[in-house]
Chain A
Amino acid sequence: MSSKNASPYKKNVMTTKKSYAVLLLVPIVIAIGISCTKLDAKVYSVVQNANFWQTPAEIAAGVAPAYAALTAIPAGNTFEVNEVSSDEIVIPIRGADWLDNNVHSQEWLHNWPVDNQNINGAWNDVYNGIGKANFTLSVVNGLATPPSNLAAINAELKTLRDYYYFLAMDMFGNIPYVTSFNVDPSTVNNSLGRAAIYDSIVTDLVANIPLLNTNVDASTYGRVTKWMGFALLAKLYLNAQVYTTHANWTGAMAACDSIILHGPYSLLSNYFDNFAVGNSSILSNGENIFVVPMDRVNIGGNNWEMMSLHYQNNLNFGLSGSPWNGFCSTADYYTNFDTTSVYTIKGSTTYRTYLDQRSGQFLIGQQYNSPYQYPPSTNVVYKADPSTALQDLQFSIPLLFTPLVGQISNAAGSFRMAGLRSIKYFPEAGTAGGQSNDMVIFRLSDIYLMRAEADLRANGTMSGTSLGYVNLIRERAYGGDASHDWTAPQATLTNLLAERARELSWEGWRRNDLIRFEVASGTHYFSAARTPDKTQDADSHWQLFPIPKQQITANPNLVQNQGY
């Protein structure tokens, strides 16, 4: 409103003056407005892709994530679905624990639905590695100034990608096979078929093996080497019959020989040193060909001690948290092991030493409140002062592990101690998961056993060379005692499968082994009825996991595997 008492003259002057002021203000406002419409925000704690990849160290740090995806493989979803669908591990439902929407029992019983979360998790974990390898390959090959070791980086990442594709093809069969980062997503499908994917992986691997590093030392620890490439090739050839219906036993033998004859590997005298806390110090001349480094501070992923041990095992292993009482092996599986032992008595304590070192990887019997000694194959406390006997705290009953897992689900207090617990990756005192033990993917023992198996299948009998390799493993297991060596007649497929159970227990290969044996012989190794509660599979479609429903939602081009 205009002011009442202002004279018309005064009002006009004022208005004119102020009008000029307004006219002046308008451009000022506009000028400030325009100059302040820049919307560029700085980046602080992350880095633009275009500004990275400048130095060899940056390139190394950009290659590493394709490896980091491995930390989810040897103790994650991939491990669980491969082991629990076999006869090696069961995760029974104990009271309320481990029901988990039935995901674990479905794996054991072979009645998993297409949306089982762990199967989808395995897919995601494996394809995470593939995606990271594709991305890094795309970037390093597009750099204006290519790194001097470009050829080596390519070979290494492609071989690593071949490993991930091998896992995906082994589990899911008909999978999308994408090797470029810049692909139109709407063209991605799984119509290629398992055999064609097998061929592609083999072709890629064979082309890259010659370009891979042969050094086995600190510079290649935890990395893809030529020997890792051959180990993967041996696995592919060994299972060729499963993937393509055409066996390739001689190819498998040759790939194994490339490692055995030319690689710098030898068996350690103590079986458990391969898996112990501090196994990363074995940088050369050891047995491990390809490992996933773990570290309690820097690299998490090895929760072995938590997955398997009972709630009160923190007391005899010095853990800083109470474990989860889940993964265990059954009585039937345990029959593969030679549990013959030597007992010694010192004071009120009886100690047990297994003749076959490998039998020490399972906790059995009463647990006592004294630190469990490493290696777990010797001087295990077998009987001690009853006042030091550990108890299950919820039910006040002795903490005494028994091999029989009679049902898949049981709420009884005693059932909490059913099943044998693995301490193969020896628990690290002071941790509650996130152990420092590096996890093994390929090692020399497996190569020896694969060579022996391929030899036996190719030739009907096992050659002396192969038998010698098997006996190296057996002599190491028996502390150098050759009296447990196999004779030629003992070198049978049945015995080999049992030897693989003993030697490679809980290393993630059991499903692969059982299906290969079943396909080769027709015997129901994988599809058999098992205690607890598993009936024989009605058909063979369970040999492949389903394409997870979640993946079909994300990509409707994917076609479900037969039988699902």
Chain B
Amino acid sequence: MTIYRLLAKIACVAICVLFTQVLFSQKVVTGKVNDDKGNPVQGATVTPKGSKTGTSTDAQGAFSLRVPSSATALVISSVGFTTTQVDITNLTSVSVSLTTTSTSLNDVVVTGYGTARRKDVTGAVASISSKDFTQGVVTDPLQQIQGKVAGLVITQPGGDPNQNVIIRLRGQASLTGGQSPLIVLDGVPLDDPTQLSNIPPGDIASYDVLKDASAAAIYGSRAANGVIIVNTKKGSSGTMKVEYNGFVGAEQLAKEYPLLNVPEWKQASVNLLTEGGLTTDSANKIVASYDHGGNTDWLKAITRTGFVQSHSIGISGGTGHFNYRGSVNYIYQDGIVINNNKEGIGLRFNAEQKALDDKLDIQIGIVNTNYTRHYTQYGNFDYIFTTPPTYPVYNPDGTFFAYSDFDQANPVEHLTQELNQGKENFSQLYGTVNYSILPTLKVGATGSLSHFNKQTGYYAPAFPVEGTVNVGNNYNYNTDSKKGDLHLNYNNHWGLHNFGFTGVYEYNYFTDDNFYAAGQQFLVDQNQNYALQNGNSSLNQIGSYKEEFLLISFLARATYNYNNKYYATASIRRDGSSKFGVNNRWGNFPSFDVAWAISQEEFLKNVSWLSYLKIRAGYGVTGNSEAITPYNTQFILGSVGRYFDPSAANQYPQSYAPTQNANPDLKWEERHGTNVGIDFSLFNHRLSGDFNVFSDKTKNLLYNYQVPVPPFYVPTILANVGDLTNKGLELSLNAEIVKGQHFSWNAGGQITSVQTKVTSLSGSYAGYKLSTDNIPGGYAQGRGLSTNPITVLKVGYAPYTFYLPHYEGVDQNGNQLFDSAGTKVPYNNAVYRYIDPSPKFTWGFNTTLMYDNWSLTIFLRGVVGQKVFNNTALDLDFIKRLPGNNVFKDATTNGIKDAATASDLYLENASYARLDNLTLGYTFNKVNPHIQTLKVYVTGNNLFVITGYKGLDPEIQNADTNQAYIDANYGGYGFFPRPRSYTFGVTLSFQ
């Protein structure tokens, strides 16, 4: 990074030198200020260079200003535009075109229930707008910003287009609660963060990430994991504008497993059998019995080139007091595994009407998206490892070559024959009315309705050789909410004192419900799961469920700044949730921030290289109740299985019992966070960035503590007992290294380091001491590996710390040896060690080069110091799987002859650097007066990964958080192979 900083410095100093001194006398200069699209800019400040007094432009963008005749230049500035200087030597009339700002200091940042200019923000808030979004195969919105925001770690668990990204902001704040940040879409919090995947990426204008507890505290009880505010594109009054964005692409398998091919497999199998005492003849005979004439690379057999396309058309416009934007989106993506895809169609509309002298402002929005998905059963991935390469996919007559053993079947047959689909419908309606009672005082109300429906269907025909029967089911899930708020905003200033106040009352009502039906033994496969009633009626199953909860909040926030130099923000939010017992229903979430814009001080005003510098400090409290289900505090009975009563008409009645130890004292898990940061901009904003240090502590940590039965009812109780800390550093930098007329070059990046540590897992509940430690977390997966925990929750360590014996090689018989205080011992006597797998830091680096109409963007991201347990290698680096299965090449050389055993041999360094994105774009010159923009680009995603990790990909984050850092592909725990993709895209807008 230092080299870019240096280059920026040199470039900036050179520009500064060009400006000359102020002289003396007067003249009148008139002019017109437009934006880069030719629209007048109203309210732009125009001052002679070196002077403090000036004027501002009118509605037509015009100005007239008396200046000393010695003045050589005017400085024109306006919110959202780059401050521009124009030479007025010998001129009395100028025409100025302002370019949209590239420094973000004047950008409007959404801070929750309000907005602020970037430079007025007092918390740790990161913003990223569409120009910085990742391009290429982006079919989930968060892929746009993966690796681009310091502190925000977004992981795509694999290459499955139907799997949601996993989002962690500043580490893990909870053990049992949700760990995803709250996502707020156009001011309305989403009921579930995964619903964002149903929003077409092309509709999103920007993201604002509230990172520290003091910024996030405004969202109180739901903000423990931070907040991501997503803003969609809006219309603006003026000419109607039509935008088209689209791409087509192809995806391919990026890396293969090192499985044995046919000759290798035959040789290794014969070797194994002869070592076992067989003659070469009989070994050959046995091996030949597996030769069904196939030569199959099973990973290739289940994968393909996947095609992707996305099209988005937006129409926006407006007149005077009215503006609107509507869009239609279409996305289709093949997963690279056969029979996996998703297809989405989305419609959005939003409009704003102003009335009563613009005092009344009404906004409405409608979102409706529909996705159809074809899922993949991850259990089928095992079969590529268990099937010998000598098996063919098809018989000569074109039917599937069928076979069966424990955990063995034809994966192509299964993936092709099973129907495994889902339909999702997400709709959100929202409206806001605001009324300015006074220019300084605005009151308003917001209401929204959100509905998410998901229907899944499954059908598997009978696989004859496997002896299975056909089965089918349908599931239907609904997540609904009604939300509303009343709000009040007051903003005023007295001299240099600027004061603001926001007050909000909020009401949220949530419901979740589902039902399902399942049947089996159908006569006709053709009906699939669309005639579930036609199976064996004695084996039919049905079920349904519903729950609801309420969340009510009051919130107040006051902001103050003196002369844009000294800032203070204080907020308090009081949340009440029906999830809690009567005594703990209400919780308070305060925050306090201060900031000092030092660069505004007189003593720094003349430091030419310092454009802006602000120091911030904040403290806040946020909550988490995700681990608590709506009825956790109540003494309730649930259905706990059927019992047999042959004397009754209904011979299998349902039994009822408590399903939990009710804990009436449950309350919010609280994250107390302190953040200190600086925002800086140097060399006339050519180099800017921010740096944050934070220290967070989660108190009242929710965890399922072990309790004795009896007198407790079940062996665990959810209680607020422990503590957890997150400490970290974040650095973001952005440099405009070269900013020429033909050529420009900028670069930016971020580094994040977070350390999470469990500091306590003991305390008391209702006077009874609760204590838990060294609790198994993640388990090794594979044959002979059940009840084999490999990660633990241990006080003093990061969550999911590995607890493994240290591998020391094999003895002369191929039995594995492990360390015990310096001596090599068998597994039973091995000493276990704690090993923290969490990364030291994660980073992202992007750079853009522009030459006339060409642009080249490169984005790299990576992780340093991470360890991943290569569980697939543990299962496959085991020669004795032969000849009935396949093995990895390492199995033929590692000398291990005894049972596959979990040890640190498989805990590999999984640091990596990934070329995530490389985009070459060309923007056409105006070919037609109506065509505003025409840009084409080609993109490659995931072009290479530099890593020492031996598995398919070092970037793994299992959706089952207990399996964190475990790369297993067995028993349905697995990773969909990650693709490399190539895209061609077009951006077109006309008016």
Interface residues of A (CB under 8 A from B): 1-3, 14-15, 18, 21-22, 25, 29, 32-33, 36-50, 52, 57-58, 60-62, 64-65, 67-68, 93, 95-103, 111, 117-118, 124, 127-128, 130-132, 134-136, 176, 178, 180-186, 188, 217-219, 221-222, 280, 283, 293, 295-299, 311-312, 314-315, 318-325, 392-397, 409, 411-413, 430, 550-551, 553-556, 558
Contact = CB atoms under 8 A, between A and B. Distances in A.
A281 B26 CA distance: 112
B710 A131 contact: yes
B768 A394 contact: no
B645 A60 contact: yes
A178 B713 CA distance: 12
Given A65-B655, A131-B710, 5 more contacts: A29-B488, A37-B552, A41-B549, A124-B709, A183-B710
B578 interface: yes
A49 B637 contact: yes
Given A33-B554, A131-B709, A394-B884, A311 B405 contact: yes
Given A36-B507, A298-B652, A396-B290, A41 B636 contact: no
Contacts of B505: 29, 32-33, 36
A2 to B, nearest CB: 6
Contacts of A58: 656
B646 A283 contact: yes
B517 to A, nearest CB: 14
Nearest to B902: A101
Closest 4 CB pairs of A and B: A394-B884, A293-B644, A64-B655, A99-B784
Given A44-B548, A96-B878, A396 B286 contact: yes
B563 interface: no
B822 interface: no
Contact of B885 (A14, A130, A183, A394): A394
Given A102-B828, A322-B407, A550-B706, A299 B652 contact: yes
A21 B467 contact: no
Interface stretch (B74-82, B411-419, B769-777): B769-777
B646 A218 contact: yes
A62 B655 contact: yes
B784 A95 contact: yes
Given A100-B784, A130-B709, A397 B286 contact: yes
Contacts of A42: 548
Nearest to B403: A393
Contacts of A218: 646-647
A29 B640 CA distance: 46
Given A44-B546, A397-B286, A68 B655 contact: yes
Interface string B518-556: 000000000000000000001101001111111010100
Interface stretch (B60-68, B423-431, B892-900): B892-900
Nearest to A551: B708
A25 B503 CA distance: 13
A195 to B, nearest CB: 21
Contacts of B897: 411
B642 A2 contact: no
16 contacts: A33-B486, A33-B554, A38-B550, A68-B643, A124-B715, A128-B714, A176-B708, A184-B711, A186-B767, A188-B711, A219-B647, A299-B644, A394-B883, A409-B898, A555-B707, A556-B771
* Residue of B513, B708, B714, B782 contacting most chain A CB atoms (<10 Å): B708
A36 B578 CA distance: 12
A127 B878 CA distance: 40
B467 A49 contact: no
Contacts of B439: 1-3
Interface stretch (B303-311, B377-385, B785-793): B785-793
B881 A45 contact: no
A167 B787 CA distance: 23
Interface string B400-411: 000111111000
Given A42-B548, A49-B636, A178 B654 contact: no
Contact of A96 (B578, B630, B768, B881): B881
Contacts of B654: 61
Contact of A178 (B638, B640, B710, B782): B710
A41 B772 contact: no
A98 B107 CA distance: 61
A60 B653 contact: yes
Contacts of B900: 96, 99
A318 B467 contact: yes
A24 to B, nearest CB: 10
Nearest to A21: B437
Given A95-B784, A99-B784, A39 B706 contact: no
Nearest to A429: B467
Contacts of A62: 637, 655-657
Contacts of A283: 646
A21, A22, A130, A413 interface centre (most CB from chain B within 10 Å): A413
B658 A554 contact: no
Interface residues of B, number: 105
Interface string B616-639: 000000000000001100111110
Contacts of B828: 102, 111
Contact of B901 (A98, A99, A221): A99
B405 A393 contact: yes
B710 A130 contact: yes
Nearest to B554: A33
Q: Which of A29, A40, A392 has the most CB of B within 10 A?
A: A29
B438 interface: yes
Contacts of A100: 784-788
Contacts of B656: 47, 52, 58, 61-62, 64-65
Contact of B637 (A38, A47, A127, A321): A47
Contacts of B878: 96
B880 interface: yes
Nearest to A37: B552
B924 interface: no
B851 interface: no
Nearest to B538: A297
A314 B404 CA distance: 10
Contact of A22 (B437, B641, B711): B437
A259 B294 CA distance: 65
B577 interface: yes
B644 A222 contact: yes
B711 A134 contact: yes
B469 interface: yes
A353 to B, nearest CB: 28
Contacts of B538: 297
A295 B643 CA distance: 9
Contacts of A46: 631, 636-638, 659
Given A183-B711, A555-B708, A41 B768 contact: no
A324 B771 contact: no
Contacts of B408: 322, 393
Nearest to B776: A117
B102 interface: no
Contacts of A3: 439
Given A33-B554, A182-B711, A411 B653 contact: no
A279 to B, nearest CB: 12
Contacts of A188: 708, 710-711
B785 A99 contact: yes
Nearest to A2: B439
B31 interface: no
A3 B656 CA distance: 68
A323 B407 CA distance: 10
Among A100, A218, A319, the one with the most B-chain Cβ atoms within 10 Å of its Cβ is A100
Contacts of B652: 295, 297-299
B406 A324 contact: yes
B546 to A, nearest CB: 4
Interface string B151-176: 00000000000000000000000000
A537 to B, nearest CB: 17
A67 to B, nearest CB: 6
B980 to A, nearest CB: 33
